[in-house]
Structure 1
């Protein structure tokens, strides 16, 4: 494993801080189950052999003590196994929950400026599949490896007490099966694991784009080409998984062979001693079965360490994004929230990257509190970029942008976003009910407030006419609603938010004349008393503005 792999491994262990109590309990229970199972098998072998000899005229046997011990070990193994599964899975699920929250908290500052460079499907794959893959590390690598470190010395001590030679044979076999094979499996699984993690994210992104853009791809005649691209990715993923399966088979076969070899080695050194009377026949049976059962402690390690390669590749994908630098930094000493809500820009300069030309250059404007500035201009002039500065989605490099006399970049992003409401031509609707989409703006709003907002947006009558009313599902990205209904639902959401700053980005784009008029009437009510920036190239929409500013 390279240095980066070890660093990611230590980081994964560090993220488990706070769950070590559950993890330690899981390790102790796992080690206890291994020892109970090994003792059960060895004692059962001894007991059966001893009973057989006693039945053929051999030495007498106290039946009750070993029978009671066997029953006790069986109960201990069954209850221990159940409790161990309960504890280790609970610890793993708690940790995965913690990891998802940790990852999301690091993703949030990256939106939208950094995340927009990523493919949606790949982001989803990192958030779900890659973090799920880390379950392998905690549940199948960390806990079993720690349990083996506890159980193996105790097992070898027992064997050394019974037969030092058998203990040496078992120790050699466990070194091969519990150390050499896992390291070999890790080497075999590292490259296909990296490929599988990357291709799984790429395939998820390919399929997301096919599903979202199916109609456009079909019309453009590009669907076959994109499907072929996704199929190529799927075949590469399948090939990586095939290599993983082959490696698992090879290491598993070598592990089984090692266990059988140790069994025969134990028989070879103990049977002569039994023939000379130094060991009894039941002792030979017990030693043979103890040798074989001892491999349970390490049986799952080669496969787990092979999967560790893919787990570390998934961890690297998660850490790469989590460690990305946000496009803007929060102020070290935030200014107090403004008491008034007029806007002033002076020599404003904004660019997307240091090596790119400015999108906004030397921009100046003033908007009084409650006023509306219409912004128009050709595509690419920076209209939407200007709107993104107020909620701190992006930063400006020089000049000044003030809200109520307070420099925008000196205010926390959360404060600014709490002061802004947005209605855009692509306002996102979540695949849930109308009610839930509205409650995003104001989670504690009751049905009366929701209906009032819909009424102001001229949408109430249409919603009440739907069979499920407020509980009507809007579909993926609002697919169950018309374009005008989607836009007015976004306006209703803005009414509920009751923000002091209103940002309108092409709010009537793509609507027919009648629907546009209804939306504009709703927007006219919405902008009353709110400082508004309206981006549009449509004359009807620009009539809402007190003043029009043209970007070029």
Structure 2
């Protein structure tokens, strides 16, 4: 229930549009019921008038029938238009809300989730929430309102029949949907979980297809995906069966209610308190009234899947950020030296210390090289500087300003980062460069490429800056991708440069080209370099080695190559 209330709270910004859709839904139901009821009355009255048993005024009911038919058709169109428009607005709001809640969690709180699972929550789970308004909330509220109005109207003619209608609508609109929801809860949760795993498996398969092909693991992966697909089909088949069962029970309830109402109206007909045309009108009204509750069994059955998707989303966004932002961020420092004293960091209370009493200084414009074995704490140091993770003890200052006094965006704005694994979007070179500075002109983009020693390479492409780099920069070599990251750093023009294995995995020529670009980039900037390559360390003012989260004055020979 708490999940449903949270979803309702997210609907609040679009409340007028949501209410308009519900009002149109009620209007359409009433127009349809009124059309059938009036038609039944009119046909019966005309038959009696034809036998001379009762007079009839022809024009008013005939015009009303035409009007209700037009109202039903036009109202249905507007209802579909408004409810779907409201749903699209709601989904757009949910996606923006979810992204804004996820951003403070990245990367610390998201690193335990598979990329495909996060994509599934952002896309598939949010899409599943469209059922909440379109298939659950709007039809349920409309059914309650229209049902009450129809029962009240029928009570004016025959109260016992109105009671029978109220009972039938309660069974078809409450008991059967609630039972469908309870029976559909488990397969709905199963479908959401399996669908998320299936998307994650497909994402992993596509990303690792080359390696899997080489290792002969494609068939095993494909078999696992087929098994998940069969599990998803089984859950969906069970949901479909429940939907058929709910629809059948609702139809049976409508038939029994009609039979009961007719039996209850016979005494009134014999007592002449109810006329023949009114009996026909009431019978058609009872039968048509179940249109209001007909969608509810399937809707409540889908509610289990919808709430399961919502819980997955809320479980993600309810995680506490790894870094607490200051209430009021400090202003930017006026200088850009880095001082670290007694820094201690671990990623969990029971985990070993990744940084254990680290002390280091980098003067403004200075260059510090850091080496060390895997797990020595090098990446953890960058995680602290970038405000991705908070530290448990010690002090870090930038230009004399405590790092914790700077909000995350301000702190990250001080850095340009060139890493071994540079993420390039499947977009053009121009778009990937403008991530660093969206307003950069073509001339500034070309200037950055020249300084990164990449201008000639880009000029050789047929589309120049509009060349698509492919998924994760697949159309560029490793060295070209690193130099594109260097060009980004030139455009960003931040005062502090963080280099994380920028030449790792490159051949000698590519390494030299990247180092040439980095030498130009480091001029006048405070630089911290993580590397195992001797060539990259030649431009450093000082080199330290990290071991078990502590700094040593000189790197051991085994750390370099």
State TM-score, norm by structure 1: 0.96
Q: Say which SS state the counterpart of residue 481 (structure 1) adopts.
A: coil
Q: Counterpart in 2 of 1:214?
A: 209
Counterpart of 2:160 (choices 161, 165, 169) is: 165
Q: Say which SS state the counterpart of residue 296 (structure 1) adopts.
A: coil
Counterpart of 2:424 (choices 419, 426, 429) is: 429
Q: Distance in 2 between matches of 1:66 and 1:332?
A: 69
Q: Counterpart in 2 of 1:52?
A: 47
Q: Counterpart in 1 of 2:415?
A: 420
Q: Counterpart in 2 of 1:189?
A: 184
Question: 1:230 deviation in Å?
Answer: 2.4
Q: Would you say the 8 A contact 1:36–1:73 is kept in 2?
A: yes
Poorly superposed stretches of 4+, deviation over 4 Å: 271-278
Q: Say which SS state the counterpart of residue 360 (structure 2) adopts.
A: strand
Q: Counterpart in 2 of 1:532?
A: 527
Q: Distance in 2 between matches of 1:219 and 1:433?
A: 30
Q: Counterpart in 1 of 2:368?
A: 373
Q: Distance in 2 between matches of 1:399 and 1:202?
A: 41
Question: 1:272 deviation in Å?
Answer: 6.3
Of 229-238 and 353-362, deviating more is 229-238
Q: Say which SS state the counterpart of residue 333 (structure 2) adopts.
A: coil
Question: 1:534 deviation in Å?
Answer: 0.7
Alignment of 1:461-540 (within 5 A): 461-540=456-535
Q: Distance in 2 between matches of 1:332 and 1:266?
A: 66
Q: Say which SS state the counterpart of residue 370 (structure 1) adopts.
A: coil
Question: 1:153 deviation in Å?
Answer: 1.3
Question: 1:126 deviation in Å?
Answer: 0.7
Q: Distance in 1 between matches of 2:357 and 2:26?
A: 69
Q: Which runs of 5+ in 2 are unaligned?
A: 548-561
Q: Say which SS state the counterpart of residue 480 (structure 1) adopts.
A: coil
Question: 1:50 deviation in Å?
Answer: 2.6
Per-residue displacement from partner, 1:308-328 (whole Å, max 9, x unpaired)?
111111111001011001112
Q: Distance in 2 between matches of 1:463 and 1:324?
A: 43
Q: Say which SS state the counterpart of residue 62 (structure 1) adopts.
A: coil
Q: Distance in 2 between matches of 1:101 and 1:459?
A: 36
Per-residue displacement from partner, 1:524-544 (whole Å, max 9, x unpaired)?
111111111111101111122
2:82 matches 1:87: yes
Counterpart of 1:312 (choices 295, 307, 310) is: 307
Question: 1:248 deviation in Å?
Answer: 0.8
Per-residue displacement from partner, 1:445-467 (whole Å, max 9, x unpaired)?
11111111111111122212212
Of 436-445 and 56-65, deviating more is 56-65
Per-residue displacement from partner, 1:27-59 (whole Å, max 9, x unpaired)?
211111111110011111222233334345443
Q: Say which SS state the counterpart of residue 357 (structure 2) adopts.
A: strand
Q: Distance in 1 between matches of 2:515 and 2:80?
A: 60
Q: Counterpart in 1 of 2:442?
A: 447
Q: Would you say the 8 A contact 2:157–2:274 is kept in 1?
A: no
Q: Distance in 1 between matches of 2:234 and 2:256?
A: 33
Q: Counterpart in 2 of 1:3?
A: none
Q: Say which SS state the counterpart of residue 499 (structure 2) adopts.
A: strand
Counterpart of 1:398 (choices 373, 393, 405) is: 393
Of 92-101 and 104-113, deviating more is 92-101
Q: Counterpart in 2 of 1:67?
A: 62
Q: Distance in 2 between matches of 1:220 and 1:396?
A: 41
Q: Distance in 2 between matches of 1:515 and 1:185?
A: 63
Q: Counterpart in 2 of 1:128?
A: 123
Q: Counterpart in 2 of 1:357?
A: 352
Question: 1:278 deviation in Å?
Answer: 4.9
Q: Counterpart in 2 of 1:290?
A: 285
Q: Would you say the 8 A contact 1:478–1:486 is kept in 2?
A: yes
Question: 1:152 deviation in Å?
Answer: 1.0
Q: Would you say the 8 A contact 1:387–1:533 is kept in 2?
A: no
Q: Distance in 1 between matches of 2:26 and 2:539?
A: 73
Of 382-391 and 494-503, deviating more is 382-391
Per-residue displacement from partner, 1:92-134 (whole Å, max 9, x unpaired)?
2222122111111111111111101101111111111111111
Counterpart of 2:149 (choices 147, 154, 158) is: 154
- Equivalenced residue count is 547
RMSD: 1.6
Q: Say which SS state the counterpart of residue 394 (structure 2) adopts.
A: strand
Q: Distance in 2 between matches of 1:372 and 1:222?
A: 45
Q: Say which SS state the counterpart of residue 17 (structure 1) adopts.
A: helix
Q: Counterpart in 1 of 2:25?
A: 30
State TM-score, norm by structure 2: 0.94
